[in-house]
Amino acid sequence: MRAALSISSILSCATAALAHLGDRGEIGGCGSIATRDAVVLSSVKAQQLKRNARRNADDYHHGPIQTYWHVIHTNDTVRGGHLESETIDAQMDILNTNFAPTGFSFELGNISYIKNDEIFANTSVLENSTYEAIVAPTHVGGKDTLNIYTTSWLHVAAVYSNGNDSVLGISTMPDEEAVPIPELGDSVFVLYFSLPGNGGLGPSKSGVEFQGTTLVHEVGHWTGLYHTFQGESECDAVNDEVDDTPAHTLQPHALTDEPICRANPNVDSCPDLPGSDPINNHMNYVAEECRTEFTPGQIARQHEQMYLFRGIVAEGYDGPEA
């Protein structure tokens, strides 16, 4: 049941508010969608890696994760994608604040600017033109280094068939095969106006302002988390492989006008499975004001995924249990 959701139903209020930023189609959602088969296979792979886990502490990266920011732009104005370094600093603070409970932190190594009119206007992350023109020449480091790219439009054809729509962000997972997007070259992409204060543009005419939790969500994927509604439209007991994020479906959260954490905090879209929906979770599609937590189960998964697939050790983590 991939691609069962329509982007227009997800963040239509944000879309309307940001219509002046691009009138081509709808903006919303995230492109990092895993199939159930991939979730199961990746889980088997993690178990195998755990059995063969290296024990030499020198093999692992400790301390802040080096982060390289690549600003794709079309001219030197904010509207042309040319983010101010203050906006990126504010976004990095939001990222670190929200990740503090996980034991991971991120240190900005460098900001580089890439002028490319066509790719700024429409970044098709499933085409090698983007990989060859943007990612291959600029990506820094290996699997223990975070590379973030900002652009104005993210076309993800394989997931959302309507070429007129854009997702807010997309990321690879620590196990590349969990969400296989080789053209991303192990990177995170987000729309530049998803940064705090609409990326420095300030409030839109209707007062809507993105707050920077899109990047927190995408780095949630980069550190090993699936959506809490993994399975999307069905109540799937395999779900996101995290016990304390109850299985749920996406639609009831997407379709409320008022943020779900105020409108219906006890919503339970899978009543036959344990628990009510995680309406405060970073890995759910909920209004930004509702996104406040990674659960202990998610943090445990991030620790293990980052250790096994990226060779990164979270502060306070001693490696997977044998």
Which residues sit at the interface with ligand NAG, rule CB under 6 A? 24, 68, 74-75, 77, 79-80, 110-112, 122, 124, 127-128, 131, 140, 155, 157, 162-164, 182-183
- In the chain, DSSP finds a helix count (H) and a strand count (E) of 10, 7
Alpha helices in the chain (DSSP H): 12-17, 36-51, 85-99, 117-121, 128-130, 136-138, 213-222, 251-254, 260-263, 296-305
CB of 283 to ligand NAG, least distance (A): 27
Q: Is the Cβ–Cβ distance between 240 and 38 less than 8 Å?
A: no
Given ligand NAG, Zn ion, none, residue 85, with its beta carbon under 5 to 8 Å by kind, binds: none
- CA atoms of 156 and 160, how far apart (whole Å): 6
> Who contacts 140 (Cβ-Cβ below 8 Å, separation ≥6)?
66, 68, 109, 110, 147
Q: Which two tokens stand for residue 237?
A: 């007991």
Q: Which residue is nearest to ligand NAG (CB)?
A: 163
Nearer to ligand NAG, 112 or 233 (CB): 112
Q: Which of 183, 209, 218, 288 is catalytic?
A: 218
Supply 65's token pair: 């994760």
Q: What is the spatial distance between Cα 115 and Cα 200, in angstroms, rounded to a whole number?
A: 19
If binding is defined by CB under 5 A, does position 250 make contact with Zn ion?
no
- Which residues have C-beta within 8 Å of that of residue 142, sequence separation ≥ 6? none
- Least distance (Å) between residue 33 CB and Zn ion: 8
Shortest Cβ distance from residue 161 to ligand NAG (Å)? 8
Q: Tell me if residue 218 is catalytic.
A: yes
Asked if residue 305 binds Zn ion (CB under 5 A), the reply is no
156 binds Zn ion (CB under 5 A): no
193 binds, among Zn ion, ligand NAG, none (CB under 5 to 8 A by kind): none
CB-nearer residue toward ligand NAG: 36 or 79: 79
Nearer to ligand NAG, 76 or 315 (CB): 76
- 25-54 binders of Zn ion (CB under 5 A): 30, 32
In angstroms, the CA 322 to CA 46 distance is: 12
75 binds, among Zn ion, ligand NAG, none (CB under 5 to 8 A by kind): ligand NAG
How many residues are present in the chain?
Answer: 322
- Residues annotated as catalytic are 218
Site residues, Zn ion (CB under 5 A)? 30, 32
